[in-house]
Structure 1
Amino acid sequence: MVVSLRSDLLNTLPTIEHAFTTRQGGVSTNLFSTLNTAFEKGDPDANVMENRRRIAEHLNGSAEQLITIRQTHSNKVIHATSPWPLEERPEGDALVTTTPGLILGIITADCVPVLLADPKTGVIAAVHAGWKGAITGIIQNTLKAMTELGAQTEAISAAIGPCIWQDSYEVDQAFYENLSRDSDLFKPSLNANHWMFDLPGYVKRQLEMSAIKKISHSPADTYSSPELFFSNRRRLHNNEDTFGCFLSCIKIKRITQ
């Protein structure tokens, strides 16, 4: 059975379904155990497809309704109106839609997933905010795309998902200097010329600077929770060859007459 986390904030929206999946409830094995959702990392495609089918069912949908993109750590937003074949998925790092039943999915394994919804106008989005995308405007671009589809900024709720937390995320001096204007989001590391960076705090700040008032915080640190989450940083520290990813999903429920 798929095990997922949900945002208390998004749970208050009756027209929205969402989930931050964990690594539990799938069919993958070894380093991908068990609910890996990423292709092209060494996990057999059949396993990934079955895992995604289970996740779609977990959100009361079908595998055909679940769409993802080729994520490139960019600030590009894709407006989806209908499902696309897996092999034709476009490049980008955020998805927006007004189409009921369409499940937007973002894969992560330390980066910050953000799910957004304006329930009044039926505009939703899913964002992959790694540090590269976050500092180049993926949050701002997504909110712009949502408002262009009719969303009202004051009505948007934002849920930050599981990601790497500050005590697990060491960065070097060059990284610190690049974001020195946000120095309060860093604290000294035990290693010289290194810092611990609050990536979800940075994403939250971008949301707040964009006038988003309703924000729920990240519920878990991916690095320090190996039983629940994949983590690329943990993989590097463990000298493992590859790693899996989990999905953060959101959809507008179908409205029946």
Structure 2
Amino acid sequence: MADEREVLRADVLYGIPHGFLTGLGHTGEPDPSLLVPGGQLVLAKQVHSAKAIAVEGRFPSDARPEVDGLVTKTPGLVLGIVTADCAPVLFADRGAGVIGAAHAGWRGAHYGVLEATVRKMEELGANRANIHAAIGPTIAEENYEVGLDFYEQFEERHADFFRRGRPGKWHFNLPAYVVRRLESLNLRQIDDLALDTYGDPKRFHSYRRATHQNAAADGRQFSLIGLPA
């Protein structure tokens, strides 16, 4: 059966092999050759951390590091992130030939995974003033209802990312929060595709939507970025 997943692109990453895949079609790992002929797919064991590492090759599936940011300058590698409401963020410094990918849920974003990913890119020779970043499909504010325990994880200066909802509830704007964190890094350009995972069941998996519908919540979509071999 052919892989039916749609591949969405970001204008800011034009010329860099990349794609935000929809959740349709096969549920397994995508073929990295979709982006880079003969490419090797590199995945981590994502744990909602603020950790990022530089990689030079793929990891065995049973020995993937527990990190949420991957960077490389090795041709032929395709970095992959899996999400189902969290923000997938892809990075590239074209001139330096350095790319990155980050899994930015609220915890990872709040505690610094985006900053850690950019720092690792700089260690490989990237210049943050030349880095372009794209945010893929992410749960939208209107569908991200949270309680007081969540709200209290943030400081008063973050209040503009919350909108009052039902009594004792708020709606959190994760994409806007990720944009703000990226803006603070003074990158070259940032693009949010503004695609809502929860509100588009025909294209995207959503952990929260599945939970609300008492359905299986193990679906994920992949976001990929690579360097030609």
Are the aligned partners of 1:3 and 1:22 in contact in 2 as well (CA < 8 Å)? Answer: yes
Q: Tell me the residue number matched to 2:122.
A: 147
C-alpha change, 1:225 and 1:90, in structure 2 (3 Å) is same
Q: Tell me the residue number matched to 1:59.
A: 35
In structure 2, how many angstroms separate the alpha carbons of the residues matched to 1:104 and 1:136? 22
| 1:203-251 Cα deviation digits (max 9, x unpaired) | 1111111112400013310000000000000011001233210100001
TM superposition shift of 1:174: 2.6
C-alpha change, 1:88 and 1:149, in structure 2 (3 Å) is same
In structure 2, how many angstroms separate the alpha carbons of the residues matched to 1:242 and 1:171? 18
TM superposition shift of 1:59: 1.2
| 1:89-142 Cα deviation digits (max 9, x unpaired) | 211101000011100000000000000000000110000001111111101111
C-alpha change, 1:153 and 1:91, in structure 2 (3 Å) is same
Whichever residue aligns with residue 52 of structure 1, its letter is P
Q: Tell me the residue number matched to 2:206.
A: 231
Q: Tell me the residue number matched to 1:212.
A: 187
In structure 1, how many angstroms separate the alpha carbons of the residues matched to 2:97 and 2:188? 18
Alignment of 1:130-141 (within 5 A): 130-141=105-116
In structure 2, how many angstroms separate the alpha carbons of the residues matched to 1:168 and 1:209? 26
In structure 2, how many angstroms separate the alpha carbons of the residues matched to 1:202 and 1:83? 31
Whichever residue aligns with residue 215 of structure 2, its letter is E
Q: Tell me the residue number matched to 1:3.
A: 6
Q: Tell me the residue number matched to 1:116.
A: 91
Whichever residue aligns with residue 34 of structure 2, its letter is H
Unaligned runs of 5+ in 1: 27-35, 37-47
In structure 1, how many angstroms separate the alpha carbons of the residues matched to 2:75 and 2:192? 26
Q: Does 1:186 align with 2:162?
A: yes
In structure 2, how many angstroms separate the alpha carbons of the residues matched to 1:242 and 1:167? 20
Are the aligned partners of 1:231 and 1:243 in contact in 2 as well (CA < 8 Å)? Answer: no
Are the aligned partners of 1:97 and 1:125 in contact in 2 as well (CA < 8 Å)? Answer: yes
Are the aligned partners of 2:36 and 2:227 in contact in 1 as well (CA < 8 Å)? Answer: no
Are the aligned partners of 1:200 and 1:218 in contact in 2 as well (CA < 8 Å)? Answer: no
TM superposition shift of 1:181: 1.7
1:86 counterpart SS class: coil
Alignment of 1:38-49 (within 5 A): 48=28
Q: Tell me the residue number matched to 1:44.
A: none
Whichever residue aligns with residue 150 of structure 1, its letter is G
Whichever residue aligns with residue 137 of structure 1, its letter is G
2:19 counterpart SS class: strand
Q: Tell me the residue number matched to 1:43.
A: none
1:66 counterpart SS class: strand
Moved over 6 A (4+): none
In structure 2, how many angstroms separate the alpha carbons of the residues matched to 1:150 and 1:209? 20
TM superposition shift of 1:178: 2.4
Q: Does 1:127 align with 2:102?
A: yes
Whichever residue aligns with residue 161 of structure 2, its letter is L
Would you say how many aligned residue pairs link Structure 1 and Structure 2?
Answer: 225
Are the aligned partners of 2:36 and 2:226 in contact in 1 as well (CA < 8 Å)? Answer: no
TM superposition shift of 1:157: 0.0
Q: Tell me the residue number matched to 2:132.
A: 157
In structure 1, how many angstroms separate the alpha carbons of the residues matched to 2:179 and 2:129? 15
Q: Tell me the residue number matched to 2:17.
A: 17
| 1:70-95 Cα deviation digits (max 9, x unpaired) | 00000111211112222222111010
Unaligned runs of 5+ in 2: none
| 1:163-213 Cα deviation digits (max 9, x unpaired) | 101111011123223223211111111x11111111011111111111124
Are the aligned partners of 2:19 and 2:225 in contact in 1 as well (CA < 8 Å)? Answer: yes
**With structure 2 as the length reference, what TM-score do the two structures score?**
0.94
Q: Tell me the residue number matched to 2:56.
A: 81
1:178 counterpart SS class: coil
